[in-house]
Structures are given as structure tokens and as C-alpha cells.
Structure 1
């Protein structure tokens, strides 16, 4: 009896010790469940429903269903890349951070100077030796270099590549007595726009107006201007002023071009109220699905006698996870996004040109899709004119972008001329860069 009593006391002692190791209110069963739970990470993106948001949701759900270790929670950030960075600043200040974020090309330097990130190859080398050649094997060096800062650090991996194209409503062009294949130069585009307004009463042209100056850079630099020269803002040149004023005249004088929000402008084109839409190829899926008229996409216009310069749009993915476990989970998710199949779905759902080199020709990639979707050719054929999206150095990135946005509204609102607005903006930005 004494032996049995001792055994009982010993058993109770062991059981009590195990239970006390669990947190208050937990049972052994709860502890087992927690041990088997997936690690949860956040993925911050800027893809609204009309620009890839549904595809983001699809890819995240598919990843979560097949992963045994990681659950990704996607978080949409409005106001594009500038808005995401502002939200990221607040999140970091509160002591938290998402694991993976989309960073627009214009903010590469600003991001690398102001936020903590992990270089993808470092995570691979430490935790995934089987993937040591993943980046080198699947990306061209010049594409990878797009996501390197001035110190040649690989801040992230290119994910979205786009160029601006001109979507045209062939029905409106024919009704206006114009060439249904659209204008080839900006000078022709102005004439087309004015004729459409005169003949049909509809607007001839809309240029995208999101919370950035990506399309404006294409307009100005294709005319010979440069947004940045030797680390200084330089867009207020004769060429830059001339190009901007030509656009402003369409809005203010002939009133053949619209100055409204991005979604409103795209929807006006889809609804058949605008003859030509200048925006990213990433809107291809939305335009193609919504337009009930004879629609096409053609290459970005040039200025007569000038060389086309088109800023690379889109984003790279950066890993901002701080713990080792979250960094491992982040790479698992990124590797899934960069698979041939996922890249193909991303392009089909948006229109972005895939950064991975083998997606376009793979049978399980985009081969048949590209044969059936001729709109994509407009972006692919002009990749030789792609240049870097202007990224103002130092800590002035967000402020410089906002100054340019305010200047756009002043010029297109008619309160200042292109010359006055651009010169004042250039002076302000260069004051920040000193």
C-alpha cells in the first residue's frame, strides 16, 4: 500500500509539473495544437480589385492550401506604393512589421535607406541550401539589378514589370474618320484627341493619374528631358516644360483630355466615353474584360525624332520579416510566387511582363496565352525602351513624389503654367536633396 501510495503521489507530481508548463488556461491538447499551427505572416500589396487584387487572393489561397508550415494574410494598401510606405512607417514605429512587401521602383533608394530588410540570398544561404542558385538560374542579371540599390545590395526580387501602353477604341477612331490603328507619335495623338472631341463630343484622351508620376516621366523623358541628373532634379528643362504644356493644353484649352482619378479615367474608357487611354499594361485584364467595343493596345507614342524612354513600372518584393522563423516563411511564400505557374497566373490576371526569364516560353507558363492575347505584345515589343523609374536619392523620396503630384494638379488645374510649376517643383526638390 505504501508503494502504491508513493506511485500515486509521484504520478500526480509529474502531471502537475507538465500542466504547470502550459500557459494559464491551456490544456495539453491546446499545447499540441499550438505546436502544430502554421506560422502566420502578412503580405502587403497595392493591387486593387481592378489591378490584380483577385489574382493576389487566388495565389495566396492556393499557397496556404498547399503549405504545411505557413499561412499568409494579404493586406491591400490604397494610394499605391507611396501609401504602402507611409503605412509601413507607422507599422514599424509601433514595433511590428509585415513579412513581405511590394515596393515600387521609384522608392527603391528610399526604402533601402529607411527600413530594415533581409537580402533574399542571405536567407537562402542560411536556411535553404537547395535553393542557392534559384536567383541566378531564373533571372537575367539586368533584371535582378533593377532591385539593387546604389551599393549593389539586392534589396529584393523583381516581381512586377510594366510599361505604359496606349489602349484605343477603334470604333471611336473610325467614327471620327481617323486611322483605326491609332497614333504613332505624341504630336499625332494630340490631333487625334482634338478630332475625337470635335466629331463625337467624347473625350479623346486620358492619361493615368495615380499617386505617382510614372506616366508623366514617360511623357517628359521621351521628349528628351530627364527627371534626375547627377543626383539632382532636372525635369524643368525646355523639353520637359514643352511636353508637359502640350498635355496641359489638351486638358485646359481644347478640353479633349480628362483630368480625373485613375479609376474614373479607366472606367470612362471602358464605358466608351474616351477614345484613347494611356496607362499601364497591368490594366490589360480589366480593360479586355470590360470593354464592349473593338479595343486594342498599341505601343507608347514617341515624340517626332526622339528616342522612346519608358520607366519600368511595377514593383519588387522585399522581405521585412525580422525573426528567423518569419524570414523562412517569407522565402517559402516568395518561392511559390516566383514559380513558373504562379508567374503565369500573375501575368494572366494583370498584364505585367514576367521578370522570370522562362515563363513566356514554358508550356505550363504563358506560351499559349501570349498567342491568344495580342494586347501583351504592345508591352513586350517596347521593352528595349525601358529605363529606371526615377528614384530621388536620400530621404527625400516621399516628399519629392508629393511635390510632383501637387505640381501636376496645379498645372492641369490651370493655376500655374507648366514652366512655372516645374521650375518651382524642381527648386523645392533640390532644396530637400541638399
Structure 2
């Protein structure tokens, strides 16, 4: 990086009096925090860099990472097992949709008092819209660390072979499928015109289809299904159309490697991969990102990514954990996060400060696509009850049946409604 931590801290002190970045007040002598994160391929280098910078500012607090796990669902299962043994991590980076799963089981410390003591959401620099993602039942239990939105990755060179231009790409899925087939016709064997990363965290991109049409996964009561409507049927029909088009069924990593190898023209995926894609492509072909299609006038996109949660129960360890959470979600931490990944920052100061991300998005338009979708964000639904993770697997299984052309939307809808409904807790009587 071209800047030094001390320079940035000094600048932020002088310009904004941002004590959240520069504070070195010890929370407790010789505290070692046990920290869990996921997706090591994306986050290993980032978390180790942030821990290094944090301990330079807080020499009394050490960071010990647990072995990272593959994804959010695996992390959730591990934390729930850790609860049984009484040894959950002090800090964990969990999927945004999993806050209710933990809080309803007595896990997670509310962070409101810590936030208010340090000046509140605005002074700490958190976007109010994104900070609200960490709330459950009126309290803040998680601070967004790395927020993602679904976007399209476009291989400009392959698109041009089919006579297309990025700024004139179709904006509906049927048209994108048809254009993808025209790319395959001219690009030759082994090429995929359009790939939809349907398995992303089990159900996130499935939810994205539903909400992009203006629908919801759950009703406002939070305990009854809402996807059995026109928007839900449209989403399943769209998944079915991918399967009928001959789209291959690739694991998440396979699809990404195929894109950076130049074998996929258009990839629907998370913004989390932008920085890695740029590094891996290395200029071998030109690629651009464009917004996710919105087929409905009231279309919204579920905020993906992860929040930092505090599971420590001892007061002094909670304070140390908060200092770490505050740093990694603060201006310096969020600057590192964006530059090393592609996720959207939750901290507005990082975006506006010239020495941080102030000029970054002007020079990095592929990262800017996610920021442009900020007004469209809605919740990434968490399913209630003890079967929350099982419901995700049910949805994933039905989605796979559709994208592999083994089932039709007409078959999948009633079966999915029945199976998900059977795993949902009963709504409380009024």
C-alpha cells in the first residue's frame, strides 16, 4: 500500500477528530481474542493484515485466529456446536442473515452501548442503511464488515465477438440467455455465454431473483412464507430457463476460475470477487461489471456479506472485542477490506476521505458498481427457528434441480413451499 497507518491516523485526527481510529486506550492487559472468519481464499490475507495493524495500535490485545471455515453455514454450525461446549469465539464474522439464528439462541452481545459511548453510528462513520443490517429486535448485534451485492461480470472481448457492447447489454434474463447463446456460437466449443452463480451461500442469489422482481421470501410476520406468489414463481421459472439453456452446473470456485480463464462471457456473482478477478485476469482480457438486472419497478437486492459479532461474555473481553470490531469496520479497516476484496464498505468516512477510498472508485469503476446499488439494498432473509440452516439446504436442492433441468418450476414450487413450511416454526397466536 502507498500509505502508512500512522499518516492516516494523524490525518483523521486532525481533520475529523476521529478517536475511533487512533485510540490506543487499553481495554485490558494481555487479552488474547479468539477470532473466527470464513472463506479463507478471499479473507486470509485481509484478516492477517488487519490484525497486524490493530495490534500495532493496541499492543495489549492479541488476535488468535481459529482455522477459517469454507462458508457462512459451516461457521454457523461450528459456533452452535461451540455453544454446547461453552467455547464460542470472542469475535466472529458471520453471514448478515445469521444474526437472528445466534441471538435467538442466546449468543451475541448487543453493541449499542459501545457504539453510543464512542459517539454513535454517525460519528463512527457507519452508513445508517448498512448499520441497520446488524439489528435484530431493536438492538445492534453485528456491524457490517464486508457487504456484497449481486452484479454481472462481463468479458468485454467475448461480448464484442458476438457484436455486443457492455453499455448495450440486454437487461432481462431471457435476452441475456439468448445473447449468451450467440456468444457461444461465435466463440466456439468450451465457452459459456451466461452463468448464474445459483449456489452462492445456498440461497442468496435465489433470494436476489425474488426480491429483484419486488417479492419477499417471508411475510412481514417473519414466520410465514411469501415466495409462493408471482415473484417467487417468476424466480423459479428463471432458474428453470437457465437449465433449459444448457448452462453447465459448476461449483462456485469452478465458475470463477472459468470466468478468469476467459471461458465465460457473462457471470452473475457477488461483488466479493472483483479484486481477485482483476488480479487473476491480469490484463489478459478486458472485463467490466454492470448492475444486476431488475425486472420489477419495486426491485430490491438482498445485502450479502458478513458482519462482525461479539460472542465474548466477560465484560472486559467484550470491551477488547469491541475495540477490534471498531477498528476493522472503521475507516482504515474498511479501506483495506475494499482494496483486497471487492465488497462494499460499511463506513462512509472511508469512502469520502481522500487518503483512503476518496479517489479509489473513480479509478476502479468495477468496484463502483456495488456502491451504485446501495439504494436498492434490502434484507437477506434469515429463516426463523431451529431449522434455519436446513431450510437453506432445501432451497439449494430445489434450485439445483431447476438449473440442471431435472425439475420444472411448476414441480419445484409446491414441493419447496411444502418442505420449507414443514421446517418453519408456527407463527405465534395473536
TM-score range (shorter-chain normalised) is 0.7 to 0.9
Aligned to 1:217: 207
Q: How does 1:9-408 map to 2 (within 5 A)?
A: 38-49=30-41, 51-123=42-114, 129=117, 131=118, 133-137=119-123, 138-149=125-136, 151-181=137-167, 182-201=169-188, 202-208=191-197, 209-230=199-220, 231-251=223-243, 253-255=244-246, 257-291=247-281, 292-303=284-295, 306-408=297-399
Contact 1:269–1:277, Cα closer than 8 Å, also in 2: yes
Offset, 1:85: 0.6
Counterparts of 2:314 and 2:182, CA distance in 1: 60
Structure 1 residues 294-317: Cα deviation after superposition (integer angstroms, max 9, x where no partner): 1000111122x5443210111211
Offset, 1:330: 0.6
- Compared CA separation, residues 254 and 199, structure 1 to 2 (3 A): farther
Counterparts of 1:424 and 1:77, CA distance in 2: 35
Contact 1:353–1:380, Cα closer than 8 Å, also in 2: yes
Counterparts of 1:313 and 1:118, CA distance in 2: 22
Offset, 1:274: 0.5
Aligned to 2:24: none
Counterparts of 1:421 and 1:124, CA distance in 2: 45
Pick one of 408, 418, 421 that aligns with 1:430: 421
Offset, 1:166: 0.4
- Compared CA separation, residues 58 and 311, structure 1 to 2 (3 A): same
Counterparts of 1:124 and 1:298, CA distance in 2: 35
| Structure with max Cα Rg | 1
Counterparts of 1:242 and 1:140, CA distance in 2: 32
Offset, 1:75: 3.0
Contact 1:166–1:278, Cα closer than 8 Å, also in 2: yes
> Moved runs in structure 1, 4+ residues, more than 4 A?
none
Counterparts of 1:280 and 1:338, CA distance in 2: 20
Instruction: Tell me the secondary structure at the aligned position of residue 321 of structure 2.
Output: helix
Could you tell me the TM-score, scaled by structure 2's length?
0.85
Instruction: Tell me the secondary structure at the aligned position of residue 356 of structure 2.
Output: coil
Counterparts of 1:100 and 1:62, CA distance in 2: 17
Contact 1:100–1:317, Cα closer than 8 Å, also in 2: yes
Instruction: Tell me the secondary structure at the aligned position of residue 354 of structure 1.
Output: coil
CA RMSD of aligned residues (A): 2.1
Contact 1:69–1:329, Cα closer than 8 Å, also in 2: no
Contact 1:77–1:83, Cα closer than 8 Å, also in 2: no
Offset, 1:124: 6.2
Instruction: Tell me the secondary structure at the aligned position of residue 33 of structure 2.
Output: strand
Contact 1:158–1:317, Cα closer than 8 Å, also in 2: yes
Aligned to 1:19: none
Counterparts of 2:369 and 2:234, CA distance in 1: 26
Offset, 1:144: 2.1
Aligned to 2:20: none
Offset, 1:134: 4.3
Contact 2:99–2:142, Cα closer than 8 Å, also in 1: no
Instruction: Tell me the secondary structure at the aligned position of residue 60 of structure 1.
Output: helix
Offset, 1:157: 1.5
Aligned to 1:414: 405
- Compared CA separation, residues 381 and 123, structure 1 to 2 (3 A): closer
Offset, 1:52: 3.0
When the two structures are aligned, how many residues end up with a matched partner?
389
